[in-house]
Amino acid sequence: MIEPSQCVINTATLGFQAPLPEVIDAVARTGFGWITPWRREVEGHDVAALARRVRDAGLRVNGYCRSTYIPSDDPAQFRANVEANRTALRDAAALGADHFVMVVGSHRDLEMARAQVIEATGLLLAEAKTLGVKIALEPLHPVYAAERSCLTLMSEALRWCNAAEGQTAEPKLGVCIDAYHVWWDPELSSSIASIGAEHRIFAFHVCDWLVPTQDVLNDRGMMGDGVIDLKSLWAAVQKAGFHGSVETEIFSAQNWWKRPMDETLRVVAQRLKTSL
């Protein structure tokens, strides 16, 4: 039984249908304790004022979504991508976010893409440590490997973390486990179990995989409406030492994004109680 006050709403769940202050109020009104905003809602606004607005509503900021894609054939573009993420990291710190979520991008030369992401992550990790913000690498479902993420397997994300930071009791580089992206992976359990005492799980995102799925990007389901065994996954994540809050992130252009924010939030609160 998970109470909304222990849970995070990722604002993508509400389809960006209102400015962030209104979203903050809706999330607080429905009893949730945490929020994860997106850069599109923050950049170009007074970040300090938004941070106050979150605090005044009684909320805390969990993650900040998400990185500019890293890989590029053009060295100047690669550097610009790193710099854009450095700026976003500073906003994450100003918001008081626990972590900055990295969706890393891709390239048809996957090996080059992976090497660039590893290099960029090293550069950003140094910045993150200075700022006191953590970085969460999010492996995406392999259906996005061509366009959105050369990082697909949880085992690889953990290898990258260990290579960049070594064994440490208080890591600043970790992973975001999004059920939608990793539920199918036969090595997921062993990957999560391998994390142990290092506490490298910084975020746990939930939604569901609908059958059939009309659109792999924006037809994700409400928890309980699909095939993902969220109870088992949540138990495994907790067993691996995760003490953070469950974050709901649902991309649903044809269903949940079309509903009033309060309705979607009420259903999320109910389903978190029954599906995890």
Interface ranges with its own copies (CB under 8 A):
108-110, 114, 141-143, 145-147, 152-153, 155-156, 183-187, 209, 211-213, 216, 226-227, 229
Q: Give the DSSP letter of residue 167.
A: S
Q: Which is nearer to its own copies, 114 or 200 (CB)?
A: 114
Give the angle 12-13-17 at the CA atoms, nearest 5°.
70
Q: Report the DSSP beta bridge partners of residue 177.
A: 204
Three-state DSSP state, 10: strand
Smallest distance from its own copies to CB 208, Å: 10
CA-CA distance, 13 to 253, in Å (whole number)?
A: 10
CA-CA distance, 182 to 103, in Å (whole number)?
A: 14
Q: Which is nearer to its own copies, 32 or 180 (CB)?
A: 180
Smallest distance from its own copies to CB 143, Å: 4
The amino acid occupying position 141 is H
Smallest distance from its own copies to CB 205, Å: 17
CA distances from 130 to 9, 76, 90, 161, 249 (A): 27, 25, 10, 18, 29
Q: Which among 33, 28, 24 is positioned nearest to 2, based on CA atoms? A: 33
107 and 71 Cβ atoms separated by less than 8 Å: yes
Smallest distance from its own copies to CB 209, Å: 6
No. of helices (H) and no. of strands (E), the chain: 10, 9
Q: Which is nearer to its own copies, 87 or 213 (CB)?
A: 213
Q: Which is nearer to its own copies, 49 or 227 (CB)?
A: 227
249 and 38 Cβ atoms separated by less than 8 Å: no
Smallest distance from its own copies to CB 227, Å: 4
Q: Which is nearer to its own copies, 47 or 118 (CB)?
A: 118
Query: Structure tokens of 78?
Result: 């690669």
CA-CA distance, 59 to 56, in Å (whole number)?
A: 7
Smallest distance from its own copies to CB 44, Å: 28
Q: Which is nearer to its own copies, 117 or 136 (CB)?
A: 117
Smallest distance from its own copies to CB 71, Å: 13
Query: Structure tokens of 215?
Result: 């659109």
Q: Which is nearer to its own copies, 49 or 217 (CB)?
A: 217
